[in-house]
Structure 1
Amino acid sequence: MSMPMTAQTDRTLLQTIEILAEAAPEEGFSLREIFDRLDESAFGAGLFLLALPCCIPFLYGVPQVVALPMLALAFQMVIGREEPWLPAKLAARKIDRKGLTQMARGGRKWFGWIEAIIRPRLSVITGRRSERVIGAFLFLFCASILVPLPMTNTVPGMAVAVTAFGLMQKDGLAVIGGSILGICWVGALIAGAFLGLNVITHISTAVFGS
């Protein structure tokens, strides 16, 4: 039996995900196996990893696998849990090797730049006292990923990923940026829903009368 591959202190999270994808069998790994191999006990790393497939356009199937676990982790932040935990059914969900490879490539493509500019700053934003508030925002962003419409994963996925990366690296500016992106997206969804409802109401009135 092979030993778990753990993240090394001199290896970035993106590099670790790339190595994980290369080492994966064809059937992939369960979320629990992935978390164990990353050897991460922080919410930021877990949410970043799970958000990656949501950021990749036209990657179908995997976002639906990770959406509920993302909600579970965000909720745990809200209630003040110190370490992430997944229920057995969610932890058993698998991402196959193809999905992991796409996640690794997408992570490098979309977030490779952030490794060069992210750094600890505005520490009050990433402290324990702020984590519950950030968790509430992340919960909303993760919930919006479940909206059953095409192309609705990418923007909230980006928001979660940037915010989570900021949490992981103690970069309050990144957390603020990701949160603003997510809030704008949720606001756009709500506005779109109201607009759609008004259109339906007007059409119904025109066709059937008041």
Structure 2
Amino acid sequence: MNKSQLVAALAVALLSSPALAGTPPEGVEFQPRRGFYTDTNVGVFFTVGGQNSYSNAQTYLQLGIGYDLTERISLGAHFGMGASAQNCFAGYLPGSETCALSDNFTMQFLNATASYHLRLMDRVYLTPKLVAGYTRLDPAPVDPDKGDPGRAVSAPNAGVGVGFEYNTGMDHFSVGADVLARFVIGPDITSFAIFPKVKYTF
């Protein structure tokens, strides 16, 4: 081997070492970002039951914060607001189709949320969840205490939901959609919220 061939062989050996030590072609396995997060949700809301069977669909807004305890389990707190339109829960006045109390009322929810992330495929998760908290109804659609019918009332609620979450290619951002059913204990009102969501994980 002459001098020029020796130099060429050494050059190839030196250049090949970094290439072999580099990132493999298939890349690094995707890991979703977990930790403290906020989410914003805007969708539709309606109640079921009552004299009118169901209310007209209304706008629903929900804002939340939370923390991912593990890759699969998350805890959060959410404030949501919707309205029940044209659904009477107090019954009609005798001989008429006029609701005894208001058949249009707002519902404000303050809930604790526990979610589980079930991986369906890369970046896509099914997210069943449990919620519980308090609801404010204004004005009162039912009057269990026979007091001022124009006042607002508060009552506990509990519910279940399911949705999906997609971890986008933009770091920190996830998108998805949820269906959430809640039962207000006392007034005995069931509500549904259906909404897309945008989640930012810090």
TM-score, length of structure 1 as denominator length = 0.21
| Larger Rg over CA atoms | 2
Bigger RCO (CA 8 Å, 6+ sep):
1
